[in-house]
Amino acid sequence: MKKTFPLRYSLPALLLGLGGTMACLLIADSIHNANQNIEAAARQQLTAIGDGAAARIEYCLASGGFGAATWPLALLNREPDLLGGSILDGNNRRLAGAGPEFNSGSAKKQTFQPDLALVNAARKYQAAQLQLGRNGHILAGAFPCRLAVSHAAANPASSGVVYLEMDLRPQQDLQLVANFRRAGMIGGLALVLVVLSWSYLNRILTQRIAGLIAATREIASGDTSRRALLGGGDELAELGAAFNQMADQIQARTTALTESEERYRRIVETAYEGIFAMDAERRLGFVNRRMAEMLGYTMDAMTGQPLEEFLFQEDWPDHQSRLSQRQFNTAARFEQRLRCKDGSEVWTIMSLTVLRDAAETFAGAFGMAADITERKRAEKKLLLQSSALMASANAIVITDADGGIEWINPAFTRLTGYPEAEIIGQKISRLRSGRHAPEFYAALWGTIRAGKTWQGELTNKRRDGSLYTEAMTIAPVCDTAGKILHYVAIKEDVTERRELESQLREAQKMEAISRLAGGVAHEFNNLFTVIMGHANLLKSSGRLAPEDATTIEEISAAGRRAAGVTRQLLIVSRQSPIHLKPINLNETITRQFNILKHLLGEKISIQQQLADALPAIAADATMMEQIIMELAMRARQAMPAEGRLTLATQAVVLAQAPDPQSLRAHFSQAKLLPGVH
């Protein structure tokens, strides 16, 4: 770029040129006017000299005191500029001539060659004739005069002419010096004016404009804090104020833009998501640090590479199809698997904003990739855990912190009978059976609200109203701050197990009682054998008095009754062998009647409804007695307070041997099964 000439030099130079031109014009005009003035003055002066010389010559000739030898004296004049003169007669012959003193008073005679045309004109018109000649420096004049005394060779009647020449150069030189002095003064004044104008322009205009230019350049280079210091009240000051206002706006916008750029740069650099941009050829033009770290590359290594380079080969067709379908859309969001540098996979959710040119063709894209690999793994793990929970044989229920049911598994529905659509949103207290005191539930909630796990058994109620016993473990689920958000309860139906355990305990108790009864029965048999033996010995001795024989008979009868009791104890202890034989069930019930009264106690009454002419059955009498006793004991358990037990018999003809359940249902409907009424 060609640098222009500085204004602080160009304008003074222009002023200097204008001043010089004006000075030259003034000098030329002054010289021209001076030459004209000098010529006019010289004409007047030469005319006066010529007329005076002619008059003196005529006077001298008339008085007779002027001779030819003294004629030069008439021409002598002290005028320093007069070169010389000649007196010519009517025939233009020089009668006399003279010259002034030159060069420090030395007189030199000069021979002039008069201008005869000028001389003849003066003689003809009898008037002075003046003419400027010799390059405008010599002024010649011809002045007519009468020659009263003629020269020896002259015609006395002829008229003469005085011819004079005056040198104008000394006066011109003096005028030229004066003009140059005047021009010097004008030039000095112009120079002073130029210096003053340069100083003024430099201070008022050039320096201020230079400051404005410097401020503009510094702002252009990035220093938006620079301002133009243009004081005063002129247009430049207003320009400076407008410039500073513009600079303030530029600084504010630049600061806002810088802050916005810095903010977005930090967002891009510190973003947890990978950010990338690709061109129309699907090559990566930019990736942030997170995107590179996600795949195990550096930012420079990924830049310039096609996006397909970081995809698995088997995913290329889907990716190409996806882009071909969505490259004309403004945005797309999809899951994409990426290939790391070590060959491992990273699952991402890719948000892609597509760029289009004026022809609506694919011009590139800007996208973000969020790493969801851990989420994918967690989803697989949760799916596995969910499958395990759904397939679990134990009932699992999740509630909120207030006991509202949020999730159940199918085992919960099988256990309680409540479907998911009906129980979700209900309180877990809906399962309460009422078998537990409020203190029990208060202790349970106190344990789990303290963040501890509760384990125990409780009786709950199903949807159909039936009760069941479950072993339950309740664990709280807390957030990172320790606040309880949910409770997870694992329920196991232990109803059947507890019934079996109860039956086992009863069986063990009965077994212990049987062993005890067997031992007691054996001891009683031994004692009864001795008693009966001695009684029989006493009866067979014949030495007893009649009243003693009666006593011995009573002793024998009591021994036989005691032996019957012992036999029943042996039946209870199951130590008698099974012997199938025809028995009458009515007689068996009658024999057990008194024993059952003692076993059931006074609060339970016993009644008999025995059928007449009941046929005999093939059974073990001991086993039948034990069955009757078991039925009575079950009835007692069902009537803990008080009640009535009815023992009834009836002959029933069956078409085929029924299963136990149908047989029980038949007797229940006929109200003939021994039980509780």
Average pLDDT over residues 538-542: 75
Residue 399: per-residue pLDDT: 92
393-489 has CATH 3.30.450.20 classification: yes
Q: How far apart are CA 210 and CA 202, in angstroms?
A: 9
Q: How far apart are CA 563 and CA 566, in angstroms?
A: 5
The pTM for the full model equals 0.39
Of residues 203 and 161, which shows the higher confidence score? 161
Residue 239: per-residue pLDDT: 80
pLDDT band of residue 293 (cuts 50, 70, 90) is: confident
Q: How far apart are CA 70 and CA 378, in angstroms?
A: 152
pLDDT at residue 302 greater than cutoff 60? yes
Residue 268: per-residue pLDDT: 74
pLDDT band of residue 454 (cuts 50, 70, 90) is: very high
pLDDT at residue 338 greater than cutoff 80? yes
Contact 228, 215 (CB under 8 A): yes
Residue 655 CB burial class (10 angstroms; 0-12, 13-18, ≥19): exposed
Average pLDDT over residues 47-73: 69
Instruction: Spell out the domain ranges in the chain.
Output: 9-169, 271-377, 393-489
> In what helix (H) or strand (E) does residue 215 lie, and over which residues does it extend?
helix 207-221
Contacts of 70 (CB under 8 A, 6+ apart): 60
Compute the mean pLDDT over every residue in the chain, rounded to the nearest whole number: 77
pLDDT band of residue 66 (cuts 50, 70, 90) is: low
pLDDT at residue 601 greater than cutoff 60? yes
271-377 has CATH 3.30.450.20 classification: yes
Residue 229 CB burial class (10 angstroms; 0-12, 13-18, ≥19): exposed
Give pLDDT tens digits for 496-518. 887 887 778 877 777 777 777 77
Of residues 314 and 5, which shows the higher confidence score? 314
Which residue's entry shows tokens 């770290």?
293
Q: Is the dihedral of CA 74, 75, 76, 80 positive or negative?
A: positive
For residue 588, give the nearest of 563, 623, 555 by alpha carbon. Answer: 623
Q: How far apart are CA 162 and CA 119, in angstroms?
A: 8
Amino acid at 675: G
Average pLDDT over residues 470-485: 90
CA 580 to each of CA 36, 281, 591, 648, 667: distance values in angstroms, whole numbers, following the listed order: 189, 101, 18, 22, 24
Average pLDDT over residues 86-102: 70
Residues in the chain: 677
Q: For every residue of 597-666, which 3-state class applies, written as one string?
A: HHHHCCCEEEEEECCCCCCCEEEEHHHHHHHHHHHHHHHHHHCCCCEEEEEECCCCCCCCCCCHHHHHHH
pLDDT at residue 193 greater than cutoff 80? no
What torsion, rounded to 10 degrees, do the Cα atoms 229, 230, 232, 233 define? Answer: -130
The CATH number of the structural domain formed by 9-169 is 3.30.450
Which residue's entry shows tokens 């280079």?
221
Q: How far apart are CA 515 and CA 377, in angstroms?
A: 64
Q: How far apart are CA 36 and CA 42, in angstroms?
A: 10
Share of the chain above pLDDT 70, in %: 81
What torsion, rounded to 10 degrees, do the Cα atoms 304, 308, 311, 312 define? Answer: -130
pLDDT band of residue 473 (cuts 50, 70, 90) is: very high
Average pLDDT over residues 600-610: 84
For residue 168, give the nearest of 370, 31, 74, 4 by alpha carbon. Answer: 31
pLDDT band of residue 152 (cuts 50, 70, 90) is: very low
Map residue 568 onto helix, strand or coil.
helix
Amino acid at 527: L
Residue 330: per-residue pLDDT: 60
Give pLDDT tens digits for 208-230. 777 778 888 888 887 777 777 77
For the chain, the distance separating the N- and C-terminal CA atoms, rounded to the nearest angstrom, is: 125
Contact 164, 140 (CB under 8 A): yes
Contact 144, 124 (CB under 8 A): no
Segment of 175-184, 411-420, 557-566 carrying the highest mean pLDDT: 411-420
Question: Residue 414 has what DSSP assignment?
Answer: H
Give pLDDT tens digits for 638-669. 887 788 889 889 888 776 666 655 655 555 44
Average pLDDT over residues 617-622: 80
Segment of 469-483, 600-614, 630-644 carrying the highest mean pLDDT: 469-483
CA 126 to each of CA 49, 146, 565: distance values in angstroms, whole numbers, following the listed order: 17, 10, 216
Out of 281-290, 366-375, 476-485, 515-524, least confident range: 515-524
Out of 223-232, 483-492, 607-616, least confident range: 223-232
Residue 596 CB burial class (10 angstroms; 0-12, 13-18, ≥19): buried
pLDDT at residue 677 greater than cutoff 50? no
For residue 140, give the nearest of 110, 106, 117 by alpha carbon. Answer: 117
What torsion, rounded to 10 degrees, do the Cα atoms 165, 171, 173, 175 define? Answer: -150
Residue 539: per-residue pLDDT: 75
